[in-house]
Amino acid sequence: MRRTTTRSRTRSGRARSALDAGYDECRRLVRTTRPTEYALMQLMPPVVRPVSWALYAAFGYADDLLDLSEEAPRERGRRLREWRAALEADLASGTSDDPIRLALTDAVWRWGLDLGDLLGALDAVQRDDDRKGVTTWQEWRERAHAQNISWPEQLMRMLVRCGLPVPVRLRDLAGFTRFVEGLFLTDMLRDLPEDLDGGHVWFPAEVLDRFHVTPDELISRQWTPAVQRMIGHLAGEAREWLEGSRRALRGSLPLGPAIVLDTAVDLFGAELDAIVRAGSAALRRPVRVARHTEWRILAPARARAAVVWRLTLPPGRDTAMDTAMDTVGRAGADGSPRDDTAPAPLAGPERHTARIAEPPLPPRPHRDGARPPAIAAAHLPQHVAIVMDGNGRWATGLGLPRDEGHRAGAVALRDVVQGALEIGLPHLTVYAFSTENWKRSPDEVSKLFAIMRAELLDGELLDHDVRLRWVGSPDGLPDDVVNVLRSQEHATRNRTGLTLNVCVNYGGRAELAQAGAALARAALAGEVDPARVSEQLFAAHLPHHALPDVDLLWRTSGEIRTSNFLPWHAHYAELHFTDQPWPEVDRRDLWAAVTAYTHRKRRKGGTTTPTVPTRAPGETEG
């Protein structure tokens, strides 16, 4: 394999980074060796494409090490084991001197892909190094699943990270494994000439027996009636599995992935037609689908996919063309380990400060152009506090791991913060991790912390006029989380727009107990007269005494309780409960909550009942 150690140059002469070159190499490999799969990847949102090339190229390369090499089987197996060991080392160090592994490493770090799953799929490829065929369809299916389910699931995971609620565990959807089998069998029929060149027959022995075909007949390319019948039968099976999966999956996939699946069934179906039409030639040379047939399938699919992604993905996620190549991930642009000033990967190494945009960016408009309600500053709540509940249930409802709910929750928070900036809300406090949340599995907790870190370092939250304040205790928190919270508090301390208080490792009663202890200490030291302890004095001894009183406390996901959240500050808060889980919330829900607040009558124990008028958008304050 070509090694990349230094910057190379594009045809136009522009200096290119090793990482760009790595992704380019993956793209080239997929486009030249698997044009159908490449065309399908081009139907994905642009931001997802480089990762799909990297994933596919890595698996293709590993497979080719076994298939195409001239070496003895034992030698081929050794080469693949070495390549896999090198990949594991690269994934641990975050960089590589090999272009394909560099791109894959970047993709894994940048998107937090599931390493175990990916390496498992590679192991499944490696298990083929005995080059023994399989006997039964059952064994063949197991092989198909082990090698082919992981990477489409990783692509789904990326769509979730882009803010699109898609099912990730495709294997649990009725019909998906059939689709993978149809794809695997089509691929086998397509690769037949090359496999026969290498002396391999990968169809299960049971189908050869059924049609009375011997491996030697195939390897010596004898086009007997039995061979013809068997190839026709296999193509028919593959077509039926693909079509059957399309029928079964209809309705369980959102529009974007459904277009990709639909197009895959049509394209693979066209390949199967071409193979059957080619007759004996299908044993001797690769068969290609006619260009006009490909075009007839692909042109409308491309147009539909472009529109659907634009409509369904949050702004910036559909058009961020080749983002993975625009900014570097863990590896530096020249393939060396990254330095501290470059953006960090999703769950990357130690790094505690993000570049803080100066001057901060204006709020990003809503994706559908929704405009904020015009509410006079005097009528706005000064402080809204949110229990962002329902992440876990939202994720499990979609068949996703709970941490995907927190990831989607972080995306929802981004939008709500934009909405808070648009209406000029002074303080927003969110419950991100309570002292009770330690009862969750260590895996969920560490993933949640990784999401928060990534969000505060690389998310858009702090690109805007947002001052971050951390409310909570460092006790028990990992150092890297504490460091990020502290350093971002410091970095944004001069911002004057929205103060975003994030409660991490926060418990309301513990906060009150701390204030009590501080007062007791002050009394013992003779600084405070216990007889003169007032509400104000008590408040001054709270660990977060600068936090203003909460005017509006909002909890999502149908639970009607406050769960130890800001008991002191929310003593007179208006309560607002909504049913939707937090990941489904956006800024319009914040505006609805705030608008509802303006209609509340806040008598504060008195008898006058002032209502708070709102203005329609565009109306000037009267």
Can you tell me whether residue 616 is helix, strand or coil?
coil
Nearer to ligand FPP, 410 or 491 (CB): 410
C-alpha Rg value of the chain to the nearest Å = 29
Beta bridge partners of 430: 386, 502
Question: Of 114, 334, 437, 483, which residue is the catalytic one?
Answer: 437
Helices marked H in 250-390:
255-278, 281-284, 291-312, 323-326
For the CB of residue 456, give the shortest distance to ligand FPP in the complex, in Å. 5
- Closest approach, Cβ 463 to ligand FPP, in A, equals 13
Compare residues 149 and 413 and give the one whose CB is closer to ligand FPP.
Answer: 413
CA gap 515, 390 in Å, rounded: 31
Q: How far is the CB of 289 from ligand FPP (least distance, A)?
A: 46
Of 107 and 585, CB closest to ligand FPP: 585
Cα–Cα distance list, 441 to 293, 365, 401 (Å): 52, 37, 12
Catalytic entry in 98, 389, 415, 589? 389
Between 18 and 504, whose beta carbon lies closer to ligand FPP?
Answer: 504
C-alpha distances in Å from residue 157, one per residue of 114, 310, 403, 506: 9, 18, 11, 30
- Phi–psi pair at 434, nearest 5 degrees: -95, 165
Least separation in angstroms between residue 408's CB and ligand FPP is 8
CB of 457 to ligand FPP, least distance (A): 10
Q: Are the C-beta atoms of 73 and 87 separated by less than 8 Å?
A: no
399 within 8 A of 152, measured Cβ to Cβ? no
Three-state DSSP at 575 gives strand
Token duo for residue 32:
């030249």
In angstroms, the CA 461 to CA 411 distance is 10
Tokens matching residue 162: 């882009």
Alpha carbons 112 and 100: distance in angstroms, whole number = 18
411 to 178, 275, 396: CA distances (angstroms): 33, 46, 17
Nearest-angstrom CA–CA distance, 168 and 401: 9
Rounding to the nearest 10 degrees, give the CA dihedral for residues 247, 250, 252, 258. 120
Nearest 5°: the CA angle 136, 140, 144 is 170
Query: CB of 454: closest distance to ligand FPP in angstroms?
Result: 8
| Nearer to ligand FPP (CB atom), residue 374 or residue 398 | 398
Minimum gap (Å) between residue 94 Cβ and ligand FPP:
23
Active site residue 505: no
Burial class of residue 451 in the structure, from the number of CB atoms within 10 Å of its CB (0-12 exposed, 13-18 middle, 19+ buried): buried
- CB of 588 closer than 8 Å to CB of 418: no
Compare residues 268 and 433 and give the one whose CB is closer to ligand FPP: 433
Binding site for ligand FPP (CB under 6 A): 388-393, 405-406, 409-410, 413, 430, 432-433, 437, 448, 451-452, 455-456, 502
| Residue nearer to ligand FPP on the CB measure, 309 or 449 | 449
Least spacing, CB of residue 453 vs ligand FPP, in Å: 8
Contact 513, 442 (CB under 8 A): no
Q: Which is nearer to ligand FPP, 391 or 598 (CB)?
A: 391
Distance CA 433, CA 445 (A): 9
How many CB atoms lie under 10 A from the CB of residue 40? Answer: 22
| CB-nearer residue toward ligand FPP: 267 or 456 | 456
Q: Which tokens sit at 26?
A: 């993956």
- Side chain identity at 168, as an amino acid letter? V
Q: Which is nearer to ligand FPP, 287 or 430 (CB)?
A: 430
Q: Closest separation between CB of residue 353 and ligand FPP, Å?
A: 15
Q: Supply 148's token pair.
A: 């082919």
Residue 24: active-site member: no
41 burial type by CB count under 10 A (0-12 exposed, 13-18 middle, 19+ buried): buried
Please say whether the dihedral angle defined by the alpha carbons of residues 226, 229, 233 and 234, taken in this order, is positive or negative: positive
Instruction: Provide the sign of the torsion angle of the four alpha carbons 133, 134, 140, 143, taken in this order.
Output: negative
The answer to whether 163 and 314 are in contact (CB under 8 A) is yes
CB of 352 to ligand FPP, least distance (A): 14
**CA distance linking residue 91 with residue 319, whole number of Å:** 28
The DSSP bridge pattern shows strands 427-434 and 15-16 to be: unpaired
CB of 432 to ligand FPP, least distance (A): 4
DSSP string, 466-511: EEEEEES--TT--HHHHHHHHHHHHHTTT--SEEEEEEEEE-HHHH
Output 305 or 432, the one with its CB closest to ligand FPP: 432
Which structure tokens are listed for 11?
Answer: 């045809």
Least separation in angstroms between CB 323 and ligand FPP: 20
Residue 67 or 415 with smaller CB distance to ligand FPP: 415
Residues known to be catalytic: 389, 437
